[in-house]
Structure 1
Amino acid sequence: MFIKTNPYDNDSLIKESRGLELLDKYITTAKNCHLNIPHIYSVTKQELTLEKIIHNYSNKTQMEVFGYSLAKLHQLKFNSYGLDYDNFIGLSEQKNIISNNWGDFFFEYRLLFQVEKIENKIIREDFLTILYKQKEKIINFLNTNTDYASIVHGDLWSGNVLFSNKIYLIDPAVYFADREVDIAMTQLFGGFSSEFYKIYSDTLPLSKEYNNKKIIYNTYHYLNHYNLFGLSYLNDCKNGFSFIDKLFT
């Protein structure tokens, strides 16, 4: 067994457990999806006890299975975006509501929420100026180029995928979203192999505006990392907002 502890006075482990259960529910529903969730033995605010996964590096076949299976999970269609409870992404609270407007949800509960947490007033105001200047264009762009709501992992970097005799997802920040938030996140810190991206896009093609959406979506993660870890992520945030401003000007 693997025991994950929480030194903070919050319910992040309980929300993590709920996220794993939600992913497991829809992994089971999706056809030919070969993803797995570690078994949950117990959870409290202080401890989450999970099945221990002995993992190693992936091989080409596993990467192909991962790409195909994620696409099959993302093919499931839902009626609305967001989630009916707040959860966490890493150490940060992630705000949620149920929404029928993807662009508005991402603007308000991802980008704006993180910008308003920035302690430095000058930086915060600079980013807010760009956000509000381009608000309607951001929202319309995301709505126009998103077909439906999918269940997403929400924090899908390489450290949250374990390759053993099966492929496991861990540490989710789950919600219902444009599926391409997951693909964008995979490319934030180096990404997966070319086999993963090829079979994913062969199974479920990316939108024609993916490369632009990717930068908008990953600006959320850069903001979160800046708020958590400081200045080393500030230039990434500035580059994201500069891109957004130029894209819609």
Structure 2
Amino acid sequence: MRPSPKKLAFFRKIAQRHPELVVMGPTASVVDVFRECGFKHVTVVPYPITPRDNRESTVHPFRHLLFAGAARADKGFHHVVDVLALLAERRQSLPVALQTSGDHYDRHDPETGKALQKLSAIDYPQLMLTPETLSPEAYFAMFEGAICLQPYDVAAFADRISGITLDGLSMGAPVVTLAGTWMGRVVERFEAGVVVDSPAPEALLQASLRIRDDYPRYQANARRAGLALQQEHSAGHLLEIIAGESGGSGS
């Protein structure tokens, strides 16, 4: 939400003028902001997850470390590049796949731009780069046999949901992420990866190796998490609430 005084004042004005408005948000911290601003009809609705069918829950051997989605500073892309630099320095052969596409406007923030410059100077034969936005089929295929690196910013993702986490777990891909984030709590709940306290490259690498060395167990836990989250984050919850509100208003 990142509520500023100006934004909160705007919300309070809208709540007074339109008390009938229904507000839905994916987490308690988001909807609490609206509730405190005076909205009367406020509901937590789990972030809808992309449905996956049983054919996509196949067991795969470990294939690569993966950074999926747009490359952004708040998603810790620069930390992932630091991991790659460490692997190259140590002459490791751990396969790594990085998606380096920009945001919705095909742009990169300054910190990510610096990370991309650093990346271009790293000589690592086991690196696969994907600079473009992928089709849904190619995107989900990246998670097969993957370990997802998600060193997302703790402040930005303390109670902010990651669709990539939901997609990865639905495909059975364990996650490395930071303590204090929504992703960290999900990973700890299902033991579907490793949660670290620091985004330092050594910490992220050791967590990744820990998962790789016990990949079948972590993959099974990730698949279990994906099945549970498919139910908890079903878009059906959203439809039920919308239908209920529409019925209640006579629409």
Whether the TM-score (by the shorter chain) exceeds 0.5 is no
After TM superposition, the score normalised by the length of structure 1 is: 0.28
